[in-house]
Amino acid sequence: MWRGILHHYKKLLPPIEDRYIVTLLEGNTPLIPALRLVQYLKIDVKLYLKYEGLNPTGSFKDRGMTFAVSKALESGHRAILCASTGNTSASAAAYAAKAGIEAFVVIPQGKIARGKLCQAMIHGAKVVQIRGGFDEALKIVRKIVEDHPMVLVNSINPFRLEGQKTAAFEICDALGDAPDYHFIPVGNAGNITAYWRGYQEYQKLKKVTRSPKMHGYEAEGAAPIVKGHPIIDPQTVASAIRIGNPASWKAAETARDESKGVIDSVTDSEILEAYRWLANLEGVFCEPASAASVAGFVKCCKKKIFRGEETVVCTLTGHGLKDPDTAIQNSPEPVTVDAELEAVLKVLKL
């Protein structure tokens, strides 16, 4: 039986006593071959989707949250705190509920996808919305923990990245080696850092023969790393990565440089195109920010960087149901008719 990442990868993670482990059985997510998408793009690579939307709260954050919350309990804390563009707050709220401790979350007002906000609320977190963005929220929570006995569970908490690196382990375990390329969205830049650490550790342990080139993608209107300076008022349809001054900026650049990869940006329309292709061609519904990885892959296909036969993994960081509004806005509206067979047949053109 799968018992969550802390039990499964115990030997490869910092120590934690079993009795403190708080788990919702996160991890063990599918690595889905994307055969129709590569056919459609007429590209000869082995493309896989690491579908992190199938974690317990619907995003990759659960891998880090199980560890951060378990460690908070181990150190005797009874409250956790985070700033969030949505998914971290949803995950923090759920794991705090499971642990029986309090969660405080600070989010940008009106900029959180509806599914994520309702998760934080239903799990009983204390939610504060600020008239500002994620970067300001992060500044505020960093200050709060200086004077209050609570644990910050943003990715600057070292156990978050330790947990998140297990996604790279799972990919290697499934493929039998590391892929040639790994594509991933970049927001606060923690996840690209975590994956790179995971791949490198597996290579050092000789569980794999190589590490992939890391390809990280920011949204064009929120691309501080690509532009080389913080962005004051970042804008993108991919609200999860609407971040202008990432906490793990330097570490992400290190991952890029050591892996001989790139950090580039994709436009909102490229993101939404990839988002629809995934849904229509692969039956995989991810949130817009997640589709930035596939949009980056498509951009690389157009640049003809692949020779053929490479193994490529794209991480889909969160589930599409997180953001129903964007899905509805990007789909044809259903037609309403009277409850009559003829009327239905007419609309269906049958």
Residue 66 Cβ, how far from ligand F0G at the closest point, in Å?
15
Residue 60 Cβ, how far from ligand F0G at the closest point, in Å?
7
For residue 277, which phi and psi values (nearest 5 degrees)?
A: -60, -45
Size of the site for ligand F0G (CB under 6 A): 22
Work out whether 56 is an interface residue with ligand F0G (CB under 6 A): no
* Candidate segments 3-11, 118-126, 179-187, 341-349, binder of ligand F0G by CB under 6 A: 179-187
Residue 91 Cβ, how far from ligand F0G at the closest point, in Å?
8
Q: Which residue has the tokens 């971290």?
A: 88
* Candidate segments 117-125, 196-204, 282-290, 302-310, binder of ligand F0G by CB under 6 A: 282-290
Residue 83 Cβ, how far from ligand F0G at the closest point, in Å?
7
CA 265, 267, 270, 275 torsion-angle sign: positive
Return the residue of 188, 200, 211, 265 that touches ligand F0G, per CB under 6 A.
188
Closest CA relative to residue 49, chosen from 242, 196, 179: 179
CA 208, 174, 4, 149 torsion-angle sign: positive
* Candidate segments 14-22, 189-197, 204-212, 271-279, binder of ligand F0G by CB under 6 A: 189-197
Residue 79 C-alpha from the chain's centroid: 24
Closest CA relative to residue 164, chosen from 65, 17, 20: 65
Closest CA relative to residue 221, chosen from 206, 207, 239: 239
Report the Cα–Cα distance between both ends of the chain, in Å, rounded.
Answer: 48
Hey, which bits of 92-198 come out as E strands?
102-108, 126-130, 151-152, 181-185
Work out whether 85 is an interface residue with ligand F0G (CB under 6 A): yes
Q: Which is nearer to ligand F0G, 43 or 52 (CB)?
A: 52
Work out whether 264 is an interface residue with ligand F0G (CB under 6 A): no
Return the residue of 179, 198, 224, 318 that touches ligand F0G, per CB under 6 A.
318
Where does residue 203 rank: exposed (0-12), middle (13-18), buried (19+ CB within 10 A)? middle
Q: Which is nearer to ligand F0G, 43 or 264 (CB)?
A: 264
β-pairing verdict for 262-266 and 102-108: unpaired
Return the residue of 66, 70, 88, 166 that touches ligand F0G, per CB under 6 A.
88
Distance CA 109, CA 114 (A): 11
Work out whether 64 is an interface residue with ligand F0G (CB under 6 A): no
Return the residue of 113, 186, 231, 300 that touches ligand F0G, per CB under 6 A.
186
Q: Which is nearer to ligand F0G, 29 or 84 (CB)?
A: 84
Closest CA relative to residue 247, chosen from 188, 298, 169: 188
Work out whether 190 is an interface residue with ligand F0G (CB under 6 A): yes
Which two three-digit tokens encode residue 269?
Answer: 């329309």
Return the residue of 4, 27, 56, 86 that touches ligand F0G, per CB under 6 A.
86
Which residues form the interface with ligand F0G (CB under 6 A)?
Answer: 59, 61, 84-88, 155, 185-191, 240-241, 287, 289-290, 317-318
